[in-house]
Amino acid sequence: MSSPRRSLIVAAAAAVLALAGVPALAADIPPPDTVVTSPNVSHVLNIPKPAPIAANINTDIAFQGDYAYVGNYGGFSIYDIRNPKKAKPVSSVVCPGSQMDVSVYGDLLFTAVDSSRSDDSCNSTSQSAAIKESWEGVRIFDVSDKANPKYIKSVETNCGSHTLTLVPGKGRDRNKNVYIYVSSYLPAANFPDCAPPHDKISIIKVPLRDPGAAAVAATPVVFPDGGNETQPGLLVPTSGCHDITMFAEKDLAAGACMGDGVLFDISDRLNPKVTARTTDPNFAFWHSATFTNDAKKVVFTDELGGGGAATCNEATGPNRGADAIYEIVNGQLVFKSYFKISRYQADSENCVAHNGSLIPVKGRDIMVQAWYMGGVSIWDFTDAANPREIGFFERGPRAAGGGGGVWSAYYYNGYIYAADFNEGLDVIKISDRLTDGARNVRTDRLNVQTQESYREWGRH
Q: What is the pLDDT of residue 458?
A: 61
Strand 332-339 versus strand 273-278 pairing type? unpaired
Q: What is the pLDDT of residue 456?
A: 79
95 with 114: CB under 8 angstroms?
no
How far is it, in rounded angstroms, from Cα 57 to Cα 37?
Answer: 23
How far is it, in rounded angstroms, from Cα 253 to Cα 264?
Answer: 5
At 171, is the secondary structure helix, strand, or coil?
Answer: helix
Identify whether 408 is part of a domain: no
Identify whether 397 is part of a domain: no
Say how many residues make up the chain. 460
User: Which of these, 369, 418, 350, lies nearest to 47 by C-alpha position?
Assistant: 418
How far is it, in rounded angstroms, from Cα 219 to Cα 235?
Answer: 25
376 with 323: CB under 8 angstroms?
no
Instruction: Please give the C-alpha separations between residue 79 and each of 76, 217, 426, in angstroms, as whole numbers.
Output: 10, 33, 12
Instruction: Please give the C-alpha separations between residue 12 and each of 39, 69, 387, in angstroms, as whole numbers.
Output: 8, 32, 22
Number of domains in the chain: 1
Q: What is the pLDDT of residue 6?
A: 28
Neighbours of 409 (CB within 10 A): 28
Identify whether 21 is part of a domain: no
Q: What is the pLDDT of residue 457?
A: 82
How far is it, in rounded angstroms, from Cα 444 to Cα 460?
Answer: 7
How far is it, in rounded angstroms, from Cα 218 to Cα 193?
Answer: 16
Identify whether 20 is part of a domain: no
Identify whether 200 is part of a domain: yes
Q: What is the pLDDT of residue 26?
A: 57
The CATH number of the domain holding residue 341 is 2.130.10
Identify whether 217 is part of a domain: yes
Torsion on CA atoms 197, 286, 366, 266, rounded to nearest 10: -20
Sequence letter at residue 361 = V
Task: Estimate the share of the chain in helix, then strand, then coil, as percent rounded to the nearest 5.
Answer: 10, 40, 50
- Tens-of-pLDDT digits for all 460 residues of the chain? 333 322 333 344 344 444 444 444 555 799 999 999 999 999 999 999 999 999 999 999 999 999 999 999 999 999 999 999 999 999 999 999 999 999 999 999 999 999 999 999 999 999 999 999 999 999 999 999 999 999 999 999 999 999 999 999 999 999 999 999 999 999 999 999 999 999 999 999 999 999 999 999 999 999 999 999 999 999 999 999 999 999 999 999 999 999 999 999 999 999 999 999 999 999 999 999 999 999 999 999 999 999 999 999 999 999 999 999 999 999 999 999 999 999 999 999 999 999 999 999 999 999 999 999 999 999 999 999 999 999 999 999 999 999 999 999 999 999 999 999 999 999 999 999 999 999 989 999 999 999 999 987 865 5
Q: 436 Cβ partners below 8 Å, 6+ apart?
A: none
Identify whether 249 is part of a domain: yes
Q: b/e map of 166-205 (b: 16 or more CB within 10 Å)?
A: bbbbbeeeeeebbbbbbbbbbbeeebebbeeebbbbbbbb
The enclosing H or E element of 265 equals: strand 260-265
Q: What is the pLDDT of residue 156?
A: 98
Q: What is the pLDDT of residue 27?
A: 54
Dmax (CA) of the chain: 70
Identify whether 353 is part of a domain: no
Question: Residue 333's domain spans which residues?
Answer: 43-347+426-456
Q: 333 Cβ partners below 8 Å, 6+ apart?
A: 261, 263, 276, 277, 278, 298, 326, 327
